[in-house]
Amino acid sequence: MKLLRWGEKNHEKPGILAADGTIRDLSGHVDDLASDWLTDAGLAKIAAIDVDGLPSVPAATRIGQCVGRVGKFICIGLNYADHAAETGAAIPAEPIIFMKATSALTGPNDGIVIPRNSEKTDWEVELGVVIGTEARYVEEADALNHVAGYCVINDLSERAFQTERGGQWTKGKSADSFGPIGPWLVTRDEVPNPQNLKMWLSVDGVMRQDGSSKTMIFGVAHVVSYLSQFMSLQPGDVISTGTPPGVGMGMKPEAVYLRPGQEVRLGIEGLGEQTQSVSAAR
């Protein structure tokens, strides 16, 4: 299934993508794509609904973030061997974990707002993992059974805030609009191998990232298992699993960063696409 949330920001309703490409309204059956609805039992109830009998949503309707009431927004840094190489960083021995504020979450096409005093706002197409069943001390062999599904994430970063102003990475990752997710939450049954998905991102039509999840250092199952050793993962938690090469700070002969007026497009095979216009914070 391809599940989504639609409508005015902060007032989104749940929906499902029908076989004919139209969006259908689930709100008569489901309160939100959150908590228990993301468990195997909850998803099974949604799968049993007659999609063709649901009301259609107007085509021009805004698409919101694909998961509601997100408890944790967890990110993995330097998780692609080719991306680590372009930044000159050593391959990490264990996953690098940082948090992104949930207030950064936004819809897939809502736009990127460059924060005040930003010098180096950068892009990162990433595979998002949405937890469906609580994971606590899970083995890697069982880890994917705790996943509700997958989505596209643009893990936007302000590199000067992130690396040049001391402290941890979070303040360079958490500006409003720095976490577009969606358009769809694609349930795990439609993604049999999350380690072989094509990923891409362009800026103003110029391809910047053209990679694959197969170059991940730590795969999805390892990441879920690893995180569950340090914190319980709850239904609706979102994990952003790292980015392939082609980010702005890795451009040669010099880095390239986002500017107001530009357009960013990105997508992952089978998971949909995002399009964002770039503006400056007022």
DSSP secondary structure, 32-46, as one string: -SSGGGGSHHHHHHH
How far apart are alpha carbons 64 and 62 in whole angstroms?
Answer: 6
What are residue 159's DSSP bridge partners? Answer: none
- For the cut 80, the answer to whether the pLDDT of residue 89 exceeds it is no
Of the candidates 100, 125, 281, 91, the residue with the CA atom closest to the CA atom of residue 197? 125
- Tens of pLDDT, residue by residue over 11-56, are 999 999 999 999 999 999 999 999 999 999 999 999 999 999 999 9
Those residues whose C-beta lies under 8 Å from the C-beta of residue 110, and which sit 6 or more positions away, are 9, 62, 177, 180, 276
Per the rule left: phi > 0, alpha: psi between -120 and 50, beta: everything else, 10 is left
Residue that the structure tokens 């009431």 belong to = 69
With vertex at residue 210, the alpha carbon angle to CA 159 and CA 225, rounded to the nearest 5 degrees, is 70
Q: Which amino acid is at 48?
A: A
Identify the residue with better confidence: 282 or 235: 235
Q: Domain extents for the chain?
A: 65-280
How far apart are alpha carbons 186 and 86 in whole angstroms?
Answer: 30
| Strands of the 2-6 sheet, one edge to the other | 23-25, 13-17, 2-6, 185-187, 147-154, 125-131, 238-240, 73-77, 96-99
21 token code pair: 């490409």
- For the cut 80, the answer to whether the pLDDT of residue 85 exceeds it is no
- Tens of pLDDT, residue by residue over 192-215, are 999 999 999 999 999 999 999 999
Predicted pLDDT at 23? 98
The helix (H) or strand (E) run that includes residue 212 is: strand 206-212
- Tens of pLDDT, residue by residue over 244-278, are 999 999 998 999 999 999 999 999 999 999 999 99
Residue that the structure tokens 């940082």 belong to = 98
Those residues whose C-beta lies under 8 Å from the C-beta of residue 101, and which sit 6 or more positions away, are 73, 170, 173, 174
- For the cut 80, the answer to whether the pLDDT of residue 88 exceeds it is no
Give CATH for domain 65-280: 3.90.850.10
Q: Please indicate, yes or no, whether the overall pTM of this predicted structure exceeds 0.85.
A: yes
- For the cut 80, the answer to whether the pLDDT of residue 173 exceeds it is yes
Do 126 and 240 touch, CB atoms closer than 8 A? yes
> pLDDT grade, residue 83 (50/70/90)?
confident
- For the cut 90, the answer to whether the pLDDT of residue 165 exceeds it is no
Average pLDDT of the chain to the nearest whole number: 96
Predicted pLDDT at 122? 98
